[in-house]
Structure 1
Amino acid sequence: MKECNKPALSLFQDGLLKPGMFRARRMERSGILLKQAWVAIVAVSLMVLPVAAADDPPYEAKLTRLAEILGSLHYLRNLCGEEGSEWRDRMNAIIAAEKPEEVRKARMTASFNRGYRAFSEIYTSCTDSAVAAIDRYMKEGESLSNEIGARYGN
Structure 2
Amino acid sequence: MKTTAPLALLLLGLVWLGMPAPAAAQATEGAPPPYEADLMRLSEILGALHYIRPLCGAAEATRWRDEMGALLEAESPSDARRGRLVAAFNRGYESYAQVYRSCTPSAELASQRYLETGAKLSRDIAARYGSN
TM-based fold match above 0.5 = yes
Per-residue CA shift, 1:25-61, capped at 9, x if unaligned?
A: xxxxxxxxxxxxxxxxxxxxxxxxxxxx961000000
Alpha-carbon shift at residue 73 of structure 1 (Å): 0.5
Match of 2:58 in 1: 82
Gap runs ≥5 in structure 2: 1-28
Structure-1 residue corresponding to 2:83 = 106
Determine whether 1:70 maps to 2:46: yes
Match of 1:131 among 91, 99, 108: 108
Alignment of 1:1-154 (within 5 A): 55-83=31-59, 84-154=61-131
CA distance in 2, matches of 1:141, 1:153: 17
Structure-2 separation of matches of 1:98 and 1:55: 14
Which aligned runs of 4 or more in structure 1 are off by greater than 2 angstroms?
Answer: none
Deviation of residue 68 (structure 1)?
A: 0.2
Deviation for aligned residue 1:139: 0.8
RMSD: 1.6
Counterparts of 1:77 and 1:129 in 2: how far apart (Å)? 12
The higher-RCO structure (CA 8 Å, 6+ apart) is 2
Gaps of 5+ in 1: 1-52
Letter in 2 for 1:57: P
- Per the normalisation by structure 1, the TM-score is 0.64
For residues 78 and 109 of structure 1, the distance between their equivalents in structure 2, rounded to whole angstroms, comes to 20
What is the aligned-residue identity percentage?
A: 51
When the two structures are aligned, how many residues end up with a matched partner?
103
Structure number with bigger Rg: 1
TM-score normalised by length of structure 2: 0.74
Q: Separation in 2 of the partners of 1:107 and 1:54?
A: 14
